[in-house]
Amino acid sequence: MPMPENAALSPTLTLAMELMRRPSVTPDDVGCQALMVERLERLGFHVERLPFGDVENFWAVRGHHGPVLAFAGHTDVVPSGPDVLWEHPPFEPCIDDDGMLCGRGAADMKGSLAAMITAVERFVTANPNHDGKIAFLITSDEEGPAIDGTRAVVEHLREAHERLDYCIVGEPSSTSELADTIKNGRRGSLGGVLHVKGVQGHVAYPHLARNPIHETTSALDALVREHWDGGNSFFPATSFQISNIRSGTGATNVIPGELEVIFNFRYSTEVTHTQLRERTEAILDAHGLDYRLDWTLNGEPFLTAKGELVEAALAGVEEVLGRRPELSTAGGTSDGRFIATLGAQVVELGPLNATIHKVNERVYAADLDTLSDIYEAILGRLFV
């Protein structure tokens, strides 16, 4: 049985549930940002709404001098899929008998957004004349194309010469217990689509054809075997992975005329995307392929190896939970890749990621209150 409606909820859980009731599937914000803006304006934040295309974003700042710490996150969620697969309706949040807050966005990342807001509310109330500037960078397009969201806001901030020293991204970074892991960087992601040209023909007359499957396999083998780098103390070795190969007409007696391969690099800070492109093309050239290669740079790697923010985050978690988190760069890309280009120190710190993007997304309700305490402790370490 879900918790009764009238049971007392903490301010963080109340706000998280208000946000979760809004079905803000990318890029629709459905009033989530208005809710956040209202709370921040009440605290004296100056809010700049920055819509781009059909994406809602805002940048909010409080304070007049010194370093800038931004909380960053997204109000959009991934689609819920069929409601029948959910134990509780995805956009009717509830706390179940196990104390889990259930519903789309509980972990990714409306719970974090609520925890950020309530942390700042308590901090500003206790320290109305705090050092530094506190900021929020919020988008409704993290789960989608991510073009008119954080990336566009970052470009706006760059042009406006806005300073950004520290950024806490509320992505669900924890793996088995709250704040066991802080992400202090992410690998880069470089995608490629390789089109190899051959000459179509009859399998009985191979001298009149040119088989792109035969020509490509040895080149792909070389790419798979290549030692791209050895990684470093923060990143595993760069990996090359083929996700799709397509060729052939379906007929058993036809040598195909073309072949397409889709692949992806997840790469460390030991190589650049330019080096990866050049080395890939050199291998393809060495195998004499007739090809075209289309590249997509999904994200460059970033790393905050050490500094005030990492120290404050580690110490803040220890202050609240009595244990020290691990630093990690594992996982996919995040909006941190765009924010880091402003020269900011960036960490990602949020709830458990076990159920994100799944049906029955959920998070320990009490964890969100603790997360709010951690964010407040980090603010205290940087700005008091």
Q: Which residues would be at the binding site for Zn ion (CB under 5 A)? A: 108-109, 171
Between residues 111 and 212, which has the closer beta carbon with respect to Zn ion? 111
The two tokens of residue 231 are 């990684």
CA atoms within 13 A on the CB side of 260: 6
Coil/strand/helix, residue 154: helix
In whole angstroms, the minimum distance from the beta carbon of 142 to Zn ion comes to 5
Active site residue 76: yes
Instruction: Provide, rounded to whole angstroms, the least separation between the CB of residue 108 and Zn ion.
Output: 4
Residue type, 70: A
Helices (H) and strands (E) in the chain, counts: 9, 19
| Known active-site residue 300 | no
Shortest Cβ 75–Zn ion spacing (Å): 10
As a residue count, the chain comes to 384
What are the φ and ψ backbone dihedral angles of 166, each rounded to 5 degrees? -130, 145
Which residue of the set 76, 165, 215, 361 is catalytic? 76
Nearest residue (CB) to Zn ion, 56 versus 171: 171
Alpha-carbon distances of 310 from 136, 231, 264, 316, 377, rounded to whole Å: 19, 21, 30, 10, 13
In angstroms, the CA 254 to CA 209 distance is 10
Any binding-site annotation on 74? yes
Distance of alpha carbon 101 from alpha carbon 93, whole angstroms: 7
End-to-end CA distance of the chain: 43
**Is 313:345 a contact under the CB 8 Å cutoff?**
no
Interatomic CA distance for residues 105 and 350, integer angstroms: 12
Give the CB-nearest residue to Zn ion. Answer: 108
DSSP 315-335: HHHHHHHSSPPEEE--SS--T
Closer of 154 and 219 to Zn ion (Cβ): 154
The distance of closest approach from Cβ of residue 111 to Zn ion in the complex, given in angstroms and rounded to an integer, is 11
Complex with Zn ion: residue 106 or 303, whichever CB lies closer: 106
* β-bridge mates for residue 297, sequence order: 190
Q: Please tell me which residue in 29, 121, 141, 142 is annotated as part of the active site.
A: 142
Least CB distance to Zn ion at residue 232 (A): 26
Q: Which of residues 171 and 373 has its CB atom nearest to Zn ion in the complex? A: 171
164, HSE (Cβ side, Cα atoms, 13 Å): 31
Annotated ligand binding at 357? The verdict is yes
Is 215 annotated to bind a ligand? Reply is: no
Closer CB to Zn ion, 3 or 78, in the complex:
78
57: part of which helix (H) or strand (E)? strand 57-62
CB of 183 to Zn ion, least distance (A): 12
Alpha-carbon gap, residue 351 to 344, rounded angstroms: 22
User: Closer to Zn ion at the Cβ: 171 or 300?
Assistant: 171
136 and 343 Cβ atoms separated by less than 8 Å:
no
Tokens in use for 308?
Answer: 């005030």
Q: H/E element holding 70?
A: strand 68-74
Residue 143, annotated as binding a ligand:
yes
Beta bridge partners of 363: 101
> Taking the complex as a whole, how short is the minimal distance between the CB of residue 12 and Zn ion, in angstroms?
18
Cite the annotated binding site by residue number.
74, 108, 143, 171, 357
Catalytic amino acids?
76, 142
Cite the annotated binding site for Zn(2+) by residue number.
74, 108, 143, 171, 357
